[in-house]
Structure 1
Amino acid sequence: MSSQEIQLRSTVAGYTAEGSIHTLSVWFILALRLMMGLAFFQSGFSKVLSGSFSAAGYLTNAPPANNSPVAGLFVAMGNTPWFVDFVNIAVPWGEVLIGLGLLFGALTRLAAFFGALMMLLFYLGNWDIAHGYINGDFAYMLVFLSVAAFGAGRILGLDRFIEKYELNGQPLVDRYPRVRYLLG
């Protein structure tokens, strides 16, 4: 292994994958985090500023028009007033918070998880498979998952410092190990 490569190895369900990545990869991981953070922040911020975002029409019309396999679920959600009210707040503010989390590298895995969840829902709702099952929504979902897997919040992000924050002389992640699932 050269000084410019980092070894990766992981075993899942008895299968092992391993390889080397170049140390410059850290900049691409950071770029992915910042790109998704900016995209989500801008999208959410414009919805918040407009004050007129409503998911009702999308929920009841887009999935059936796109022949989504879960169109009935989306229509049911769109016909449930309290759920539409929830989505009308959760989508714009969720995008803003996910964006800020990624831009600042704070609670990055939590932000990336919710970003991936939103992209999964967009993938199912938009259901554009004219050119195959992989589309932009699916690709963005994988980008979010990659940001989480690589612990991108530790790269010029606040998670690096949050993990080291001490409570009674003990680092936060040592005192509360499950916090690792939110940070990084």
Structure 2
Amino acid sequence: MSEQQSSDTVFRSTLAGVTVEGRAHPLSAWFVLALRLVIGFAFFYSGAEKVLGGFDAQGYLVNVAGQNGNPLEGMFLWMGQTQWFVEFVNVAIPWGEVAIGLGIMVGLLTRLAAFFGALMMLLFYFGNWDMAHGPINSDFMYMLVFLSVAAFGAGRILGLDNYIEQYEVDGQPLVVKYPFLQYIMG
């Protein structure tokens, strides 16, 4: 095995009986960190603009789906016409984007933040439905970035998750003592 291959990280996964395997170059950690910082900043900035500039989702929810052949038109219309839901969205979207962005930028509860970021992007994907250039748009790509950040455990690369996971409780690292934390941290 060459020196380069021995320093590469092997990753492998089996799903439905199919196994895939690859080797990550040592520089991959820098790219995963960059991906985490960029998507975190993008979400934080988007949320901060909404918080500081005011945000009202009602017009978007009522009008967007009916204009683009969206298969979830009825759901978006219901959301936009249901006052309690609009009030919830008017808080959840801007502050959710701020919290998700901050969590991802500092690498705190990274997988949890990435999950909610991916969920938000999935909803935006359907809200911004446009098949003019095929099924892949920027919302879909952002969703994949969030899922990649989660899958790579990007919060362990110069992130707070790395330190918190190693914090010892009764002589054991936190994630060893409480294994469910591996699903929200990392």
TM score, norm. by length of structure 2: 0.96
Unaligned runs of 5+ in 1: none
Report the alpha carbon displacement of residue 167 of structure 1 after superposing the two structures with TM.
2.1
Aligned to 2:176, which of 166, 174, 177? 174
Report the alpha carbon displacement of residue 170 of structure 1 after superposing the two structures with TM.
2.3
**For residue 144 of structure 1, what is the aligned residue in structure 2?**
146
Report the alpha carbon displacement of residue 5 of structure 1 after superposing the two structures with TM.
1.8
**For residue 19 of structure 2, what is the aligned residue in structure 1?**
16
- The aligned amino acid for 1:24 is L
How do 1:58-77 and structure 2 match up within 5 A? 58-77=60-79
Counterpart secondary structure, 1:127: coil
How do 1:1-184 and structure 2 match up within 5 A? 1=1, 2-50=5-53, 52-184=54-186
> Distance between the aligned counterparts of 1:27 and 1:98, measured in 2?
21
Report the alpha carbon displacement of residue 168 of structure 1 after superposing the two structures with TM.
2.7
* Contact 1:40 1:95 (C-alpha < 8 Å) held by counterparts: yes
* Contact 1:47 1:92 (C-alpha < 8 Å) held by counterparts: yes
* Contact 1:109 1:182 (C-alpha < 8 Å) held by counterparts: yes
Unaligned runs of 5+ in 2: none
Over aligned residues, Cα RMSD in angstroms? Answer: 1.0
- The aligned amino acid for 2:23 is S
- CA-to-aligned-CA distance 1:120-139 (integer Å, 9 cap, x gap): 00000000221100110001
> Distance between the aligned counterparts of 1:146 and 1:168, measured in 2?
33
Q: Aligned residues, how many?
A: 183
Counterpart secondary structure, 2:182: helix
